[in-house]
Amino acid sequence: MYLDLEIIDFHTHFPTKRPWFAGMAPDPRAEYARRRGERRAAIAREQSMAYSRDWRLAWDFEPPESNPPDDETQADRWADEVDRYGLRAVGFVTGGGNDHLASMIARHPDKFIGFAHHYPFADDAADELKRAVTELGMKGYKLLAPMLDRPIEDEAAYPVWEMCAELDIPVLVHFGIQGGGGGIGWHENINPLKLHNVAKDFPEVTFVIPHFGCAWIRETLQLCWACRNVSIDTSGSNQWVRWVDGDWTVKKLFRKYLETIGAERIIFGTDSSYFPRGFAIRYLQDQIRDCRELGVHPEHLQMIFAGNAARLFKLDL
């Protein structure tokens, strides 16, 4: 328990030494370096790092460790974070491939939940998803839409959506700005409304759009209005609010989504990952304060901060 609430963090990333997004999609940074050369890739990385430095200073976050320990130690550190803050569980949405993430979750299965995270257009993508859920114990499926090399609504991925329906698992799909400042700002899959036809065609599947829509507020709301099987998560610093039209804050985002889709379709997350930061307690504290100041009923508070995730993960609170 934390501040009289059960807490499930729906959206974290396991800080593996392997490529975090292994097998999910072609690596856009490698592709950029191939097309434009290493010199320009280095300049782009430095420009992106400037945004990251400003963000860390604003939130008083230390930089990621330059020489992190092995993944087994990282898993144990994350288990300690779960205990330290009284969390029910954390959901790792990426972690270096399905098999590797499953091996890390197996160290603390009472505290960790895993998402399958592999390329949806592969010939065996649906079979791999079934294996990840039925054999490896994954409880969801994660995609980064702006990293895909095909339209997300391409029917070549429909066997994957059919498998999600068969397995009754939630699907977390990132739309909008990818990678923070200096990251991907435009892509054919940047707009959450691109999911419209998929969500319509598979109404029994719960699709979750993270980060309140990540700068695409109007489009996310329209998607939610059209498709009751679409929810949102609250994860991350949501620093993008400073870069969109209007005087938005996370508190105002909570108000807007509460008065439209309701508490039963809002899911708490932090986007936590690396150490020494570990679990980003600041995000939890700020979001609880925002909701309490908005007068959210205690029953609805519990839905947002654990109940909805528990229902999707089929966990008891």
Specify the pLDDT at position 20: 84
pLDDT in tens, 173-226: 999 998 888 888 999 999 999 999 999 999 999 999 999 999 999 999 999 999
pLDDT in tens, 215-241: 999 999 999 999 999 999 999 999 999
Indicate the pLDDT class of residue 21, thresholds 50, 70 and 90: confident
Specify the pLDDT at position 30: 84
**Which residue type sits at 59?**
W
Residue ranges per structural domain of the chain: 8-313
Cis ω for the linkage preceding 276 (within 30 of 0): yes
Question: How would CATH label the architecture of 8-313?
Answer: Alpha-Beta Barrel (3.20)
- Distance CA(287)–CA(47), nearest Å, equals 30
- Mean pLDDT, the chain, whole residue set: 96
Specify the pLDDT at position 64: 95
Cβ proximity of 270 and 287 under 8 Å = no
pLDDT in tens, 124-153: 999 999 999 999 999 999 999 999 999 999
Q: How far is CA 229 from CA 21, 290, 312, in A?
A: 26, 25, 12
Secondary structure (3-state) at 11: strand
Please check the confidence at residue 289 and state whether its pLDDT lies above 90. yes
DSSP-derived pairing of the beta strands 112-116 and 171-174:
unpaired
Cβ proximity of 204 and 212 under 8 Å = no
Please check the confidence at residue 22 and state whether its pLDDT lies above 90. no
Q: What is the mean pLDDT of residues 287-310?
A: 98
